[in-house]
């Protein structure tokens, strides 16, 4: 056992490559896409390091190219979950007792693999699995994922260094133990980085993890697992169990050894998981930590002093990048009447310029939405608007699933600030705008705060400083990530810790120390050098 105090240099955020014409990374990415598409991949479960094939599989296709088959995935159920929990608990002691620097080295090395030799592979699999453009893929499956891995290792050393005060005659210490049991990590489809961080953050802290990736993005999640393996992650520490939600979720939440849930996904799923944990509470040996980041109805609120020429591109990017499938994507907007003509003219013109199509054609700004289910849900919202008297579509509104799940960037204008598409999470490229009377600025701020149950991200646009300050105060609880004169998307690890409140989640800020605190259980140790030899206190002495 080493006896030195090691430290990790403060990381820097990963620099993004441009993939502009003529760059070497562009050529390499194109080559990797072609190579990957030559082979079909068979994705198994991985339990104790062994690949497990079940008798149930489904086929995987890029959302933008449904005729192409990426491969198949084997689906798990109760039998595999039980095996995985047993194996994880066996691996637990050795992993928990592994010195922190050895654990950290694995995740730091994985970050270097992802940003180095595997960079184009991580991008290509994310483009194919989730229909991301090269830029959208680069910023998260490479940039954000590496940032999560590097900064979390560094944050952990800061936590471990934090020790209590010791007066004379004693030594007080705190140990940061992993949780007793296993952590259940359940990831959403939309970010390869989140899929990686959900199991990796608790594992870094010494926990063993059952990871249920989303079937919709399992193709890219598989490569995250492979990168961790290539970096030296021991067998059994992260068990990989693809499957339909409840098939994996129910048996995992039944286990008496559940010690934590690390979830990102929709509010409905999180509510269900929380209720199930509540129902099972008497079974557990320990109170499970529950961390969940969920939905959003993210806003842009413009004041009449807003800089329209900057607001327009921020709106297009904020609402339509990655097809509006970022939890932070702008989906409702408030614009004052005095700037509406100018703003709407420019916005319509820009939306017309948005190119959508196969993400392997690098000239596209948007790809397809993730699945048949998402396509149906989003197109139903668009049809609802088309039939409504309280709203009209001023840009987009078309959809087509003949080649892939394509939905046009769609701008709706409503006269009802509580219109359905101002309130409900659609999770697609649909932005609804309410045009307010300038003199109703204050009431409209209240509307913005009170219209949705979510509070994930929001952006305000104004030039006047007093107004900015006023808006920021009035909307204090409306968003966990709040932007001033910027789009509400694009949070960066260690710069804007990410998470919302209200029905957007527990706000345990992914990519910050706060998140890591949920995966450790402190043990306070007091050591006394010379304790008293008698039990009586001085006040008990006889009076003279």
Active site residues: 293, 327
Provide, rounded to whole angstroms, the least separation between the CB of residue 468 and ligand NAD. 25
Provide, rounded to whole angstroms, the least separation between the CB of residue 329 and ligand NAD. 9
Provide, rounded to whole angstroms, the least separation between the CB of residue 245 and ligand NAD. 2
Residue 138: which of 320, 361, 322 has the closest Cα?
322
User: Angle at the Cα of 266 (from 481 to 200), degrees rounded to 5?
Assistant: 75
With H, G, I as helix, E, B as strand and everything else as coil, classify residue 208: strand
With H, G, I as helix, E, B as strand and everything else as coil, classify residue 510: strand
Provide, rounded to whole angstroms, the least separation between the CB of residue 242 and ligand NAD. 9
What are the start-end ranges of the H helices in 453-492?
465-474
C-beta nearest to ligand NAD: residue: 249
CB of 265 or CB of 417, closer to ligand NAD: 265
Enumerate binding residues for ligand NAD (CB under 6 A).
186-191, 194, 212, 214, 245-246, 248-249, 264-266, 269, 272-273, 293-296, 327, 425, 427, 456, 498-500, 504-505
Structure tokens at 209: 């993890």
Structure tokens at 334: 């408030």
CB of 251 or CB of 336, closer to ligand NAD: 251
Report the alpha-carbon distance of residue 133 to residue 478 in Å, rounded: 30
With H, G, I as helix, E, B as strand and everything else as coil, classify residue 227: helix
Residue 132: which of 458, 366, 308, 310 has the closest Cα?
366
Report the alpha-carbon distance of residue 132 to residue 367 in Å, rounded: 6
Provide, rounded to whole angstroms, the least separation between the CB of residue 505 and ligand NAD. 5
Report the alpha-carbon distance of residue 201 to residue 345 in Å, rounded: 46
Token pair 């940039």 is found at 143
Report the alpha-carbon distance of residue 159 to residue 286 in Å, rounded: 22
CB of 344 or CB of 496, closer to ligand NAD: 496
CB of 293 or CB of 360, closer to ligand NAD: 293
Residue 131: which of 196, 228, 217 has the closest Cα?
217
CB of 344 or CB of 515, closer to ligand NAD: 515
User: Does residue 253 contact residue 82 with C-beta atoms inside 8 Å?
Assistant: no
Structure tokens at 428: 């697609």
Report the alpha-carbon distance of residue 496 to residue 486 in Å, rounded: 13
Report the alpha-carbon distance of residue 257 to residue 21 in Å, rounded: 52
Provide, rounded to whole angstroms, the least separation between the CB of residue 425 and ligand NAD. 6
CB of 134 or CB of 324, closer to ligand NAD: 324
User: Does residue 449 contact residue 475 with C-beta atoms inside 8 Å?
Assistant: yes
Provide, rounded to whole angstroms, the least separation between the CB of residue 289 and ligand NAD. 16
Provide, rounded to whole angstroms, the least separation between the CB of residue 342 and ligand NAD. 32
User: Does residue 490 contact residue 513 with C-beta atoms inside 8 Å?
Assistant: no
Provide, rounded to whole angstroms, the least separation between the CB of residue 270 and ligand NAD. 7
Q: Which helix (H) or strand (E) holds 91?
A: helix 78-96
Q: What's the Cα-to-Cα distance from 385 to each of 231, 398, 420, rounded to whole Å?
A: 50, 12, 9
Report the alpha-carbon distance of residue 307 to residue 522 in Å, rounded: 49
CB of 189 or CB of 419, closer to ligand NAD: 189
CB of 445 or CB of 493, closer to ligand NAD: 493
Crossing angle, helix 337-352 and helix 308-320, to 10 degrees? 50
Q: In what side-by-side order are the strands of the sheet with 410-414?
A: 391-395, 410-414, 430-436, 330-336, 298-302, 457-461, 481-484
Structure tokens at 502: 């209200």
Beta-carbon contacts of 65 under 8 Å, excluding residues fewer than 6 positions away, are: 358, 360, 403, 404
CB of 190 or CB of 414, closer to ligand NAD: 190
Provide, rounded to whole angstroms, the least separation between the CB of residue 427 and ligand NAD. 5
CB of 207 or CB of 506, closer to ligand NAD: 506
With H, G, I as helix, E, B as strand and everything else as coil, classify residue 197: helix
The helices-and-strands tally (H runs, E runs) of the chain is: 17, 23
């Amino acid at each position: 056992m080493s006896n030195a105090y090691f430290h990790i240099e403060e990381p820097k955020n990963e620099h993004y490559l441009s993939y502009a014409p003529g760059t070497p990374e562009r050529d390499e990415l194109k080559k990797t896409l072609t190579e990957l598409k030559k082979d079909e991949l068979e994705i198994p479960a991985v339990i104790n390091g062994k690949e497990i094939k079940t008798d149930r599989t489904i086929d995987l296709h890029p959302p933008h190219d449904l005729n192409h088959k990426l491969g198949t995935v084997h689906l798990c159920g109760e039998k595999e979950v039980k095996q995985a929990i047993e194996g994880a608990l066996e691996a637990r002691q050795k992993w928990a007792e592994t010195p922190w620097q050895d654990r950290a080295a694995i995740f730091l090395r994985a970050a270097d693999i992802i940003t180095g030799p595997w960079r184009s592979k991580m991008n290509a699999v994310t483009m194919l699995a989730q229909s991301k453009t090269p830029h959208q893929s680069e910023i998260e499956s490479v940039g954000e994922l590496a940032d999560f891995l590097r900064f979390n290792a560094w944050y952990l050393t800061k936590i471990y260094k934090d020790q209590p005060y010791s007066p004379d005659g004693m030594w007080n210490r705190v140990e940061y133990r992993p949780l007793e049991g296993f952590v259940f990590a359940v990831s959403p489809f939309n970010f390869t980085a989140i899929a990686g961080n959900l199991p990796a953050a608790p594992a870094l802290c010494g926990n063993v993890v059952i990871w249920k990736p989303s079937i919709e993005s399992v193709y890219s999640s598989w490569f995250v697992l492979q990168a961790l393996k290539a970096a030296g992650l021991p067998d059994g520490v992260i068990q990989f169990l693809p499957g339909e939600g409840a098939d994996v979720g129910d048996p995992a939440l039944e286990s008496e050894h559940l010690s934590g849930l690390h979830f990102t996904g929709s509010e409905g799923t999180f509510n269900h998981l929380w209720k199930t944990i509540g129902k099972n509470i008497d079974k557990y040996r320990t109170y499970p930590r529950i961390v969940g980041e969920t939905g959003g109805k993210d806003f842009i609120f413009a004041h009449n002093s807003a800089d329209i020429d900057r607001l327009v591109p921020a709106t297009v990017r904020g609402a339509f990048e990655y097809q509006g499938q970022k939890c932070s994507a702008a989906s409702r907007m408030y614009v004052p009447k005095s700037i509406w003509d100018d703003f709407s003219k420019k916005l319509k013109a820009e939306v017309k310029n948005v190119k959508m199509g196969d993400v392997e054609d690098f000239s596209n700004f948007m790809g397809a939405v993730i699945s048949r289910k998402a396509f149906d849900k989003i197109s139903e919202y668009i049809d609802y608007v088309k039939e409504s008297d309280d709203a009209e579509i001023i840009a987009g509104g078309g959809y087509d699933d003949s080649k892939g799940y394509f939905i046009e960037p769609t701008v709706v204008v409503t006269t009802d600030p509580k219109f359905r598409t101002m309130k409900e999470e659609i999770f697609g490229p649909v932005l609804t705008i309410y045009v307010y009377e300038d003199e109703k600025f204050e009431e409209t701020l209240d509307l913005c705060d009170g219209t949705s149950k979510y509070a994930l991200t929001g952006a305000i646009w104004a030039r006047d400083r007093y107004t900015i300050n006023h808006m920021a105060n009035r909307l204090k609880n409306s968003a966990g990530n709040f932007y001033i004169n910027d789009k509400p998307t694009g949070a960066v690890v260690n710069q804007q810790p990410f998470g919302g409140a209200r029905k957007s989640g527990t706000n345990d800020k992914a990519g910050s120390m706060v998140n890591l605190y949920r995966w450790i259980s402190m043990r306070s140790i007091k050591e006394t050098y010379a304790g008293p030899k008698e039990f009586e206190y001085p006040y008990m002495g006889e009076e003279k």
